[in-house]
Amino acid sequence: NGMHAVTALAGASVAAVAVGLLVATPSTASPAPAYCVTSTSTASVTYGGASYTALPTPTVTPSPYSPGSGCGSQGSGGHPRTKVCHVAALGDLQDDAPNIYAAAQECNGGGTVILDEDYYVRTPLDLRGLSHVDLQITGNISFWDNVTYWQSEMFFWTYQNATSQWVVGGEDVNIYGYGVGILDGRGQAWYDAYAANALIKRPILLVLSALNGGVVSGLNMRFSGQWYNFVANSSNVIYDGITIEGASTSSHVAKNTDGWDTYRSDSVVIQNSVINNGDDCVSFKPNSTNVVVQGLVCNGSHGISVGSLGQYKLEYDVVENIYVYNISMSNASDGARIKVWPGLQSALSTDLQGGGGSGHVRNVTYDTFYNYNNDYIIELTQCYGQSNLTLCNEYPSSLTISDVHFRNFWGTASTKYKPVVGTLVCSSPTVCSDIYATNITIPAQTGATAAEWRCTNVDESNLEVNCVAGV
């Protein structure tokens, strides 16, 4: 099956639009230290009767900001990769999952797995528990789209019924795509099946679970059945130079195709990437702390979102120390968004209900944010999933929101809510404090006399916007 030596490719990152104003380093993020580098690979190793060369390891650093004083990556200076394992694709749509698993186990403890062909995954692929392993993907990994088969075979997380066909975890595990590697979820079958049955399980394209220290860079992610990336119970992770693309080719829209969802994870960096999707560009789910998102170009999304939070009764959700910087957001329902469920059970859709949970959002900054044709420039709501505003007010959320900064926003809003361009509505003045909006430059839409903002239960003296009565 064509085993051959791999020649070096230059690492590739997708540069985001440079959008402007440089500001002082915020308390939520620190300049990236110079020692934040990834592990090193050996040059060439004979394996399986042929010579294979591991590509030079990309140098990936969080820039210009990193969470706290840490690296957001391995931080150990790198563990040697002394083994190289090449996976020969079987072809003819045969299942390559067992051979990918075997290679990862053989190179566990300090090795590089070369995936330079076209692979097909037909059975669950569990790559958790690895240590000091690099997956170099310069080929194409696609996933079998038999919806019926996968209903009983996918990995499962209780939170929002998240499922996946493969999962990666361990310590110091990296996935490098060098700008050419492709993950293809073959999502069309899932878009069509979801239109017929909103309760089917749909796969997330890449899940990092219980990973401490890792880089995902230079990958092209295509046609995920649901979210593209789920970072769960993980820490010290960097995503860099990712492209996300995958619209439906039928009348059934590709729904819930979030770019990233972080959950119960700490010290995560997402940077220098281009995203064309149909839901949140990035979403900070419960217990996401010390996260930096920077240099993203997002199109067609639901914005960069805190939440949703408070979905599960008796659960305490935390989102804290978040810094979002240098973002270009176009044709989205929202630019920056904080979404919290009310204090009573509500149904957003057939497959998404919740409300009644508690928690806090604290120390969140959105800074340097270009908007083009977004319905809301900023949306803060504690009535997520509940259209009955009377009930929302009767059962307000107890989740507190404090120390939130929206600054240096400019561009245009769509005419969907004309003349309103944003909404900052808390359930009561006791749960929201220190909400700031500064240097917000959004003109009125065509035909409107002024750009209006709905502001309720927030201190309007902290808001440099044209507040009108909330709803």
- Judge contact between 417 and 376, C-beta under 8 A: yes
* CA-based max dimension of the chain: 74
Residues 6+ apart with CB under 8 A from 148: none
What's the half-sphere exposure (Cβ side, CA atoms, 13 Å) at 21? 13
Active site residues per annotation: 279, 302
Distance CA 330, CA 322 (A): 22
Helix (H) or strand (E) holding 103: helix 97-106
> What's the distance, Cα to Cα, between the start and end of the chain in Å?
64
Query: Where do we find the tokens 């079958």?
Result: 189
- Indicate the DSSP class of residue 109: T
- Judge contact between 397 and 343, C-beta under 8 A: yes
- The b-or-e profile of 283-318 (16+ CB within 10 A means b, else e) is bbbbbbbbbbbbbbbbbbbbbbbbbbbbbbeebebb
Q: Is the peptide bond before 64 cis (omega within 30 degrees of 0)?
A: yes
In single-letter form, the type of residue at position 377 comes to I
Distance CA 383, CA 405 (A): 20
- Judge contact between 106 and 303, C-beta under 8 A: no
Task: Pick left, alpha or beta for residue 75 (phi over 0 → left; psi -120 to 50 → alpha; otherwise beta).
Answer: left
- C-alpha distances in angstroms, 149 versus 5, 122, 133, 200? 36, 9, 30, 12
- Judge contact between 68 and 290, C-beta under 8 A: yes
- The b-or-e profile of 140-179 (16+ CB within 10 A means b, else e) is bbbbbbebeebeeebbebebbebbbbbbbbbbbbbbbbbb
